[in-house]
Amino acid sequence: MAIKERMSGNEAVAFAIKQVNPDVMPAFPITPSTELPQFVSNYVANGKIDTEFIPVESEHSSMSAAMGASAAGARALTATSSCGLALMWEMLYVAASSRLPIALALVNRGLTGPLNINCEHSDSMGARDSGWLQVYAENNQEAYDNFIMAYRVAEHKDVRLPIMTCMDGFITSHAVENITLIEDDLVKKFVGEYEPEHYLLNEEEPMAVGPYAVSNYCMEAKRAQAQGMMNAKQVFLDVAKEFEQISGRKYGLFEEYKLDDAEYAVVGIGSAMGTAKDAIDALRAKGIKAGLLKVRVFRPFPGEEMAAALAGCKAIAIMDRCESYSGNGGPLGAELTSALYRAKSKAEIINVVYGLSGRDVKVEDFENLYGELADIAVNGVKDTQYRYLGLRE
C-alpha cells in the first residue's frame, strides 16, 4: 500500500536515495542542496543504508570521486547547486564522455552574479551541452519519482550516460508538501541491482577509462555518445511506463495540461508551471482556450514531439528561468523555436525570461501573459519576440 507522507523536496529525494541504497556518495555542502548529503549521512550513521559516504573538500572532488566509484563498477551519486555545479564543470564532460551512469541530484539555484542563493535554472542550463541527461520536477512528488527512475534510464545498455535530476531551489527543495511514497521492496525491485558489463575492477577485462584519443578516433566516440542521448528518449518513456505500474503516476517527456484544444500555450519548466495551471483553470472558466506544455525531460530534447503537441496553437510563449545572453532569450526558447521552425509551425512565438534569482511569478502574471498571447494571435508580435516577465522597468 502506498505511504502518505509530508516532506520537503530535499527530504523526498533523500528518502528516494535511501530506498535505492547506492554504493557511494561523495558530496560537498552548498545551499540549497546541503540537506541532501546531510539526510543521507544520517541514514548511513543510523545504519539505515550501507552507502559509502565520502565528505570531500570541493564539488570538483565530489564529481571526481563519483567518477572513480562509477568507473570501478559502483552505483554512485552526488548532489549540488549553482556554483557547486560550475566547479564540477570539467568533470561533467569527462563523466559523460566516459559513459558513467552517475546520478546528480541538482537543486537549481542562480549562478553569480550578483550573488544570490535563490531559484534559477542557469546552473543546469549552463551544463545542457555537457552530455548529461536532464529531467526536471515541478513539485516534491515529481522530484521523488524522478530520482527513483533515474538509474533505470542512465544505466540502460543503450544509454550509459550520467543523469541530473533537477528541482527548484527553496520553492521545491524546502517547501513541505503532501507526497505518496512507494514501499521499499517495490523500489528495490524496480531499480534492481547494478551489474555493469565493463568496469575497472573486472580482472578478466583490463581496460582504461578516459584515455587520450587522437583525431582518428575521437569523433567516433562523440558520435557514439550522441547515440546514447538519442536512445534515451525511448528509454525514458519505457521506464516511465514501468514506473506507472508500481506508482499509478504517469510520466512522459513532457506534460500537456489542457493543451488538446488550446489556442494559446505556455511552455516552461519547473515549479512555476503549477502556478500556470491555476491561471489556465481560471481562464478556461471564462471560455479562454489556454494550455500548458510543461517540459520534464530537457536532455535529450524532445523538440519534434513538442512541436507536434503545439501544432494547434495560434500563439506560444516559451519561458526560461535563466538568461543565456544571446540577445534572444533563454535556451528553451532557442531550442523549441528551432523545432517549431523545422515543423513549419504557423504559430506566433515569443520568448519570455522570468523568475530570475527567485523572483515571484504570480497567477495574474500568467493571466496577463495569456491575454498578450490572445492579442498576438490576432495582431502579431508588435515589438519584440524577447521580453522579461515581472521586470521593474
- Give the pLDDT confidence of 136-153 residue by residue, as tens digits: 999 999 999 999 999 999
Average pLDDT of the residues in 215-219? 92
Residue 393 has pLDDT above 80, yes or no: no
* Percent of the chain residues past pLDDT 90, beyond the cut: 95
Rounded distance between C-alpha atoms, residue 308 and residue 302, angstroms? 10
- CA-based nearest residue to 255, from 193, 306, 198: 306
* pTM of the entire predicted model: 0.97
The answer to whether domain 3-247 and domain 254-388 are alike in fold is yes
| pLDDT at res. 316 | 98
Q: What is the mean pLDDT of residues 363-383?
A: 95
Give the pLDDT confidence of 321-359 residue by residue, as tens digits: 999 999 999 999 999 999 999 999 999 999 999 999 999
Integer Cα distance of 150 and 50 in angstroms: 20
What pLDDT does 346 receive? 95
CA distance 79 to 135: 14
Q: What would the grid cell of residue 11 be?
A: 527530504
Q: Over the stretch 22-44, which tens digit does the pLDDT of each residue have? A: 999 999 999 999 999 999 999 99
Map residue 38 onto helix, strand or coil: helix
- Concatenated DSSP letters of 347-359: -EEEEEE--GGG-
pLDDT in tens, 51-80: 999 999 999 999 999 999 999 999 999 999
Per-residue pLDDT tens over the stretch 97-111: 999 999 999 999 999
Q: Domain 3-247 is classified in which CATH homologous superfamily?
A: Thiamin diphosphate (ThDP)-binding fold, Pyr/PP domains (3.40.50.970)
**What pLDDT band is residue 210 in, cutting at 50, 70 and 90?**
confident
Question: How many CB atoms are located within 10 Å of the residue 230 CB?
Answer: 11
pLDDT, tens only, 276-305? 999 999 999 999 999 999 999 999 999 999
Strand partners, 55: 27
Beta-strand pair 133-136/297-299: antiparallel
Domain 254-388 part of CATH 1.10.443.10: no
Output the pLDDT for position 209: 87
> Which contiguous run of DSSP H or E holds residue 362?
none
Q: Among 207-211, 230-234, 340-344, 366-370, which is the least confidently predicted range? A: 207-211
pLDDT band at 1 (very low <50, low <70, confident <90, very high): low
**pLDDT-derived band at 383, boundaries 50, 70, 90:** confident
Sorted by where each begins, the domain ranges of the chain are 3-247, 254-388
